[in-house]
Chains A and B, each alone.
Chain A
Amino acid sequence: DAEITQSPRHKITETGRQVTLACHQTWNHNNMFWYRQDLGHGLRLIHYSYGVHDTNKGEVSDGYSVSRSNTEDLPLTLESAASSQTSVYFCASSEPGPQYEQYFGPGTRLTVT
């Protein structure tokens, strides 16, 4: 069965370190998304991609970057981790077109100390 996976599932890092969160999907979807989930804020969009070599900023993109070198993967990099980036991160993918739902990965819980 097709799926979307994230790794690691849990990560503890120190302030100032660079961190990369992996997202891999086997749906062959062109669209991929990164969200963070925080209490009181719901889901907020960080970055998204509509295909290989395409990336776009979401509403909370500062301090984060993504790159899309193939269809299956969209890694999220925190350039210099800050305590404000402690959160749960979700990756999602979908087929192109507004009528299609997004499929979500299981999430990565990141703690920045």
Chain B
Amino acid sequence: AQSVAQPEDQVNVAEGNPLTVKCTYSVSGNPYLFWYVQYPNRGLQFLLKYITGDNLVKGSYGFEAEFNKSQTSFHLKKPSALVSDSALYFCAVRDNSGNTPLVFGKGTRLSVIA
């Protein structure tokens, strides 16, 4: 069975500081990993994904994520946070064995303080 854990319900960071939103996963095969962002009263927007290759993945709005197979983690990062980055962030996973739906974490609320 596939699962995702986002250990922090809430992350607070000052504007201009680096941010990290944590995600760990469990799959039976090789993982495909995704990050989504949700702004208030909106649907989820795709940010980035890891399929294969370079462990550092770059995505939209200056976000990046680092895949670490030994730690089964896929943490989302940004070098300098903006107030407009404040939103709900979801990590998702599926294994590469077939056409299965994504399994989502419970989400982490990021608050960037000016």
Contact = CB atoms under 8 A, between A and B. Distances in A.
Interface residues of A, number: 24
A58 interface: yes
A101 interface: yes
A102 interface: yes
Given A90-B43, A90-B44, A102 B102 contact: yes
Contacts of A103: 46
A98 B94 contact: yes
A106 B42 CA distance: 5
A48 B102 CA distance: 11
Given A48-B101, A58-B101, A98-B96, A41 B43 contact: no
A19 B94 CA distance: 31
Contacts of B49: 99, 101
A40 B44 CA distance: 17
A104 B45 contact: yes
Q: Which of B42, B51, B96, B104 lies at the interface centre, i.e. has the most chain A CB atoms within 10 A of its CB? A: B104
Given A31-B99, A98-B32, A101-B34, A42 B43 contact: no
A99 B32 contact: yes
A21 to B, nearest CB: 14
Contacts of B41: 107
A104 to B, nearest CB: 4
Top 4 A-B residue pairs of the complex, sorted by shortest distance between their CB atoms: A42-B106, A104-B43, A43-B104, A104-B44
